[in-house]
Amino acid sequence: MVHLSCLVPVYNEHETLEELCRQIQAALKDQTINGQPIVYEIIMVDDGSRDGSWDIIQSLTANHPVRGIRFRRNFGKAAALLAAFRTAKGNVYVTLDADLQDDPNEIPKMLNKMGEGFDVVNGWKKDRRDPWHKVYPSWVFNGMIGKLSGLKLHDHNCGLKMFRREVAQEIRMYGELHRFIPIMAHGRGFKVTEIPVYHRPREFGVSKYGFNRFLKGFLDLLTVTFLTDYGRRPQHFLGGWGFFFFVLGGLGMVFLGLEWFLMNVMGFMKPVPIGSRPLLIYSIACLLLGGQGITLGFLAEMMVSFNIEDKDVYSVVERTTPESTL
């Protein structure tokens, strides 16, 4: 039996929630994966909505396998998914945006793909129904992610993602790192793939993301790349660059020292004041930068053992009462 948890972050989406539940139920009704029936739950996290979304979520719990979580204020999608991870009872999770642009009919296809031995199945909006000013920058962004992370996917930011429970237990999310779930899973050795999914045009509400998300996304990418490769060994990164600059500065000082010796002791060269040489300033700057890098590396290594607990990144004000059917 497949135990599936559908995780839906909600922020001012009261118009779509009932229809989304209906579509999820229709997509999973009487479905089997390798002969096994699908038992599912829907977890909706109200991320500080102000449009009555929580009232809709509460009403849905009466006739649908829905459980709700309500935040005191808007904490962001990553925090909403983290809360859903901790509440979910399934052994497979699928994330969907609440605006109906993600098609629940793709869920059985993703389950079948996961059955081929993959741990993460990422959606790929091959025919994306968004304005050009969102599509083209996204192409550039996805290409850049592939270069830096080594995981080449067409659409890292697709809201439709499926992964095993073990993935959610091992990755840590905060800020806006939710879009990098495949990268973080890949960095821990999980098998990641993607499949094309149908992307619907927007019919309700407006996009919650502006142009500044690409800047935030780039900064988050640098964070994920660093944490994936050096999160448990920051000295290898900080200390490595620090050592490089320290050696560079040291070589500069050695060169100046030899030059002074040849000028003032051996008399092979015309004496020139060393203090007026730009190389002296550059060498000292490299020595200082290198020393700081190595020192920061040691401090970062010490801080690794005192990781910030992710339980503090959000605050729940109430939950719906029905227990999960899984």
**Res 234 pLDDT > 70:** yes
Averaged pLDDT for residues 62-77: 92
Higher-confidence residue of 313 and 199: namely: 199
User: How high is the pLDDT of residue 97?
Assistant: 92
**Res 212 pLDDT > 80:** no
**Res 15 pLDDT > 70:** yes
**Res 248 pLDDT > 70:** yes
**Res 232 pLDDT > 70:** no
3-state secondary structure 211-276: CHHHHHHHHHHHHHHHHHHHCCCHHHHHHHHHHHHHHHHHHHHHHHHHHHHHHHCCCCCCCCCHHH
> pLDDT tens digits for 114-159?
999 999 999 998 877 666 556 666 777 777 777 777 788 888 878 8
d(CA 81, CA 45) in angstroms, rounded, equals: 8
User: How high is the pLDDT of residue 238?
Assistant: 78
d(CA 123, CA 147) in angstroms, rounded, equals: 19
For residues 175 and 213, is the Cβ–Cβ distance under 8 A? no
Burial (CB < 10 A; 0-12, 13-18, 19+), residue 321, is exposed
Work out the pLDDT band at 297, boundaries 50, 70, 90: confident
Averaged pLDDT for residues 91-112: 94
Task: Report CA-CA distances (Å) from 260 to 191, 255, 257, 272, 279.
Answer: 59, 9, 5, 8, 13
Averaged pLDDT for residues 235-261: 87
For residues 107 and 162, is the Cβ–Cβ distance under 8 A? yes
Work out the pLDDT band at 312, boundaries 50, 70, 90: very low
**Six token digits for residue 260:** 């002074």
**Res 9 pLDDT > 80:** yes
Q: What are phi and psi of 174, to 5 degrees?
A: -160, 175
User: Structural domain boundaries of the chain?
Assistant: 2-230, 234-304
Domain 2-230 has CATH 3.90.550.10: yes
User: How high is the pLDDT of residue 207?
Assistant: 58
In this structure, the strands spanning 92-95 and 2-10 are: parallel
- Neighbouring C-beta atoms of residue 33, cutoff 10 Å: 16
**Percentage helix, strand, coil, to 5, in the chain?**
50, 15, 35
**Res 95 pLDDT > 50:** yes
d(CA 8, CA 87) in angstroms, rounded, equals: 12
Task: Report CA-CA distances (Å) from 62 to 43, 56, 58, 283.
Answer: 14, 11, 8, 71
**Res 250 pLDDT > 80:** yes
Q: Provide, rounded to the nearest whole percent, the portion of the chain with pLDDT above 90.
A: 42
d(CA 309, CA 92) in angstroms, rounded, equals: 24
User: How high is the pLDDT of residue 242?
Assistant: 87
- Smallest CA-to-CA distance from 145 within 160, 157, 130 is with 157
**Res 226 pLDDT > 60:** yes
- Look at residue 97 and give its three-state secondary structure: coil
